[in-house]
Every structure is written in C-alpha cells, then in structure tokens.
Amino acid sequence: WLEKIVSGAWQPGEQSEPPFPDNRSIG
C-alpha cells in the first residue's frame, strides 16, 4: 500500500491504512 500512497493513487477502503497520503506515518 505504501507505493499507492507515494504515487498519490491511494483509494480508501483498500487497506486499514488512512485513505490519504499521510506523510507523518512515512517520515
């Protein structure tokens, strides 16, 4: 799912992760 967040192509509901690019959890 990390690739989707980095590419900005994240779609809500795919995983239990936040449905938005959360840079705080990345670095």
Tokens representing residue 25 in the block: 């959890």
Residue 5 to residues 8, 15, 17, Cα–Cα distance (Å): 5, 11, 10
Residue 21 confidence (pLDDT) above 60: yes
pLDDT at 18: 58
Is pTM beyond 0.85? Reply is: no
User: Are the beta carbons of 4 and 14 closer than 8 angstroms?
Assistant: yes
* Interval 1-25 mean pLDDT: 58
Residue 27 confidence (pLDDT) above 50: no
